[in-house]
Structure 1
Amino acid sequence: MKFPEADRFGSFPLIPYRFMPPISKILVFLPDLLGDVVIGTPVYRAIREHFGPKARVVGVMRQHLFGLFGGSDWFDELWPFRSIRNEERLGMIEMMRRIRAGRFELALMMSDSIRAALACKFAGVPRRIGYGRYGRDWALNEIVPQPKDGSGRLRTEPLVHYYLRLAGHLSTLPGFGDLRASRIGSHATSSKSARSLRSFMKLELGTLPEDEEDADELLKRWGIRNDRRIVFLHSSGFFGTSRRWPEAYLAVLSQMIVDRLGHDVVILNAPGDEDVVERIVDSTHRDRVFSIYLRNYGVAKALLKRGRLMVSTDSGLARVAQAVGLPIICLYGPSDPLRGANPAAREEILSLECDCQGCEQRHCPKGHTACMNDLFPERVFYQVEKRLGDKRKAA
């Protein structure tokens, strides 16, 4: 699969920036999902670098994801935007009051929420920038165009391009028309500008000293080695059953990694998967296979930094791993690999390229989930072994 030749991140606004007063108060509505929030980190970094340390930048996001930004200085404040059904009206009114009191000059809508656009419009934010999707065009006054294919449909593109185009509208990034790569995730290019742009696209998350200490304590408490000989496995059913890799395959892969490569295996729990993961650990009959439920994203980042490799389905935790520098092998079934593509990421893609791949369905409409069930553990282990080398278990 080819990595697409990208267009410019955005167009120039109607009023040249040199004729506009300097912007010092920026409001950013972040995406809703864990992985999308992480994929947007190049935008947060670019905004801070462009507007400088004296600007007030406030991020609005789901509160349970606040821990992602411990150790990063892109936001001066983080505000929770309530999404509980019986609190929507209260949350909306409170958000409008906060925005109006903050006297923000610019709001960047990385979320597709119409409520976010309405809150900024009614709060009087003068510049409201975003994509004109889901009927919210009238609530924005600077609509960023999206690329379309020959038939006029929106073109499928990597999410990092999707978000960086918004930053490009602020003129914070150069164009990247010269970027070409032979495969998704490839670093090979002879273009100096492309190398520079890969640095812009790099996912990044920092950590706090206390999270580092908690991660060390967690490994010690569970008896997991802390010499980076750890392989993390993750197969989340959060999106639906179609993305889940079979339990038996995870168990077999865990046994092969422990027995043949001498690494500890840590299977990461996702909400609702606790019983599944415990069954997998029990079925391996290996004392070097562990399960951990990460409730704190600050500790999760620090823990992932202590690993050597992660094998995961397309999930938010896989993007967190990328952002802390952990190489990943990502198993794609119903999700389109192009959406998560990033030339700056240390990611290897495994997929069967079925005719129905990229259906994005929560449950397989054909009832067989062949895109995941036919991706056998022996094939995955071959790639793991290539990454780690044929290292035998230490005596």
Structure 2
Amino acid sequence: MTRSLVIAPQWIGDAVMSEPLLADLAARGERLAVAALPWVAPVYRAMPQVREVIELPFAHGRLDWAARRRIAATLRGRFDIAYVLPNSIKAALIPWFAGIPRRVGYRGEGRWLLLNRQLRNPGGRPPMVAFYQALAGEPRGVGAAADARPSLSFERAVLRAAANAAGVEPGGYWVFAPGAEYGPAKCWPAAHYAELARRLHANDSLPVLLLGSGKEAALCQQIADAAPGACRVLAGQTSLMDAMALIAGARGLVSNDSGLMHVAAAFGIPQVAVFGSTSPEHTPPLNPRAQVLWLKGELGLDCMPCFERNCRFGHTRCLSEVAPQRVETALHDALAA
């Protein structure tokens, strides 16, 4: 059996989108270990094909040369092949230091010495699932790439434990993920989230759980304050594992284009994804129960998609003109799908 090490990407959404690659590798008999930063490691623990998750104790953006050499020493002789998913030089250092015989990845930042099987960097912004699946080295038709969908799973006991800790019943709550790590240009307005929360709570009395990182707690509190009695702020109060379990057990989710959007898609729950500055042609929620709202054709804004962190014009019309009533309708459509 081929022993394989996968160097994981650093963002939650990208980690989710790598799942079809890992499924392909496991299906052809490779035994998989994933080396991941702590904030994405829980994603790989929800992939049954992953035998081992190795957490990397690196700070964001730092080279940590000595630490990479120490970790590589513990991996020497354990693996036959490494798949390096990020395009940075530092991501390719551990397989090289560890002397793993076959090291596969995109050329990225001039990694000709570190990788001995290099794929040409694609132009533009390719669909991420196909981008990662190409590392398996097997020709895939357009139809196969289009059909590939990330899939995550938890045992039912994990879902119930997370729901109990949050004081809710599985299936008896909504989830909003109103933040976006990349920047505010991806965020549907807080006032719109609050109005949607009021409408949903008035209809069914189910609580709306507001999830995200600690950096998004203030945003979530703003939404909760504008929707009295409808929301519970859990941003920054749960682990990523528990947040994922709460998403998996939710009645439905509303989010921006974010990592938690991809988590919801991989669990296959009803969801609405609001896009503005980014494009669903690049990173859509790959979920047959997802509804995507992107008003590029309706608004006729030449700046869409800009892929910027902040709106250069200061109006974020691409998001603010997506009405809460429209999102509510889309959510009910997702439930019926």
Q: In the superposition, relative to structure 1, how do residues 350 and 111 fare at CA in structure 2: closer, same or farther (>3 Å)?
A: same
CA distance in 1 between counterparts of 2:39 and 2:275 reads 26
CA distance in 2 between counterparts of 1:81 and 1:325 reads 29
The CA deviation at 1:142 is: 1.1
Secondary structure of the structure 1 residue equivalent to 2:282? helix
CA distance in 1 between counterparts of 2:176 and 2:260 reads 10
Greater than 4 Å deviation, 4+ residue runs: 342-345
One-letter identity of the residue aligned with 1:289: C
CA distance in 2 between counterparts of 1:239 and 1:197 reads 26
1:213-257 Cα distance to aligned partner (Å, 9 max, x none): 4223124x3xx4x26242211111421121122111111111111
Q: Which residue of structure 1 aligns with residue 234 of structure 2?
A: 292
CA distance in 2 between counterparts of 1:321 and 1:342 reads 8
- Out of 129-138 and 63-72, give the one that drifted further: 63-72
Q: Which residue of structure 1 aligns with residue 24 of structure 2?
A: 46
**1:387 aligned onto 2:334:** yes
Could you tell me which of 173, 177, 202 is aligned with 1:230? 173
What aligned pairs does 1:72-83 form with structure 2 within 5 A after superposition? 72-83=47-58
One-letter identity of the residue aligned with 1:175: R
One-letter identity of the residue aligned with 1:302: A
Q: Provide the TM-score with structure 1 as the length reference.
A: 0.76
What value does the CA root-mean-square deviation take over the aligned residues? 2.4
Paired residues, number: 330
**1:29 aligned onto 2:7:** yes
What aligned pairs does 1:235-384 form with structure 2 within 5 A after superposition? 235-285=178-228, 287-293=229-235, 295-341=238-284, 345-353=288-296, 354-384=301-331
- Out of 64-73 and 247-256, give the one that drifted further: 64-73
The CA deviation at 1:209 is: 5.5
In the alignment, is the contact (CA less than 8 A) between 1:235 and 1:245 conserved in 2?
Answer: yes
The CA deviation at 1:115 is: 1.5
One-letter identity of the residue aligned with 2:96: K
Q: In the superposition, relative to structure 1, how do residues 279 and 74 fare at CA in structure 2: closer, same or farther (>3 Å)?
A: same
CA distance in 1 between counterparts of 2:205 and 2:48 reads 38
What aligned pairs does 1:128-139 form with structure 2 within 5 A after superposition? 128-139=103-114
Q: Which residue of structure 2 aligns with residue 68 of structure 1?
A: 43
In the alignment, is the contact (CA less than 8 A) between 2:69 and 2:97 conserved in 1?
Answer: no
Q: Which residue of structure 1 aligns with residue 154 of structure 2?
A: 207
Q: Which runs of 5+ in 1 are unaligned?
A: 1-22, 148-153, 180-193, 390-395
In the alignment, is the contact (CA less than 8 A) between 1:207 and 1:302 conserved in 2?
Answer: yes
One-letter identity of the residue aligned with 1:41: E
1:283-325 Cα distance to aligned partner (Å, 9 max, x none): 212x243222353232223222222211100111111111112
The CA deviation at 1:62 is: 0.4
What aligned pairs does 1:176-195 form with structure 2 within 5 A after superposition? 176-177=141-142, 179=143
Q: In the superposition, relative to structure 1, how do residues 343 and 268 fare at CA in structure 2: closer, same or farther (>3 Å)?
A: closer
If asked which structure has higher relative contact order (CA below 8 Å, sep 6+), I would say: 1
Secondary structure of the structure 1 residue equivalent to 2:16? helix
The CA deviation at 1:87 is: 7.4
Q: Which residue of structure 1 aligns with residue 96 of structure 2?
A: 121
**1:162 aligned onto 2:109:** no
Secondary structure of the structure 2 residue equivalent to 1:245? coil
One-letter identity of the residue aligned with 1:218: A
The CA deviation at 1:342 is: 6.0
In the alignment, is the contact (CA less than 8 A) between 2:257 and 2:274 conserved in 1?
Answer: yes
One-letter identity of the residue aligned with 1:44: L
What aligned pairs does 1:214-225 form with structure 2 within 5 A after superposition? 214-219=161-166, 221=167, 224=168
Q: Provide the TM-score with structure 2 as the length reference.
A: 0.88
**1:96 aligned onto 2:39:** no
1:124-161 Cα distance to aligned partner (Å, 9 max, x none): 222111111122133221112355xxxxxx14321111
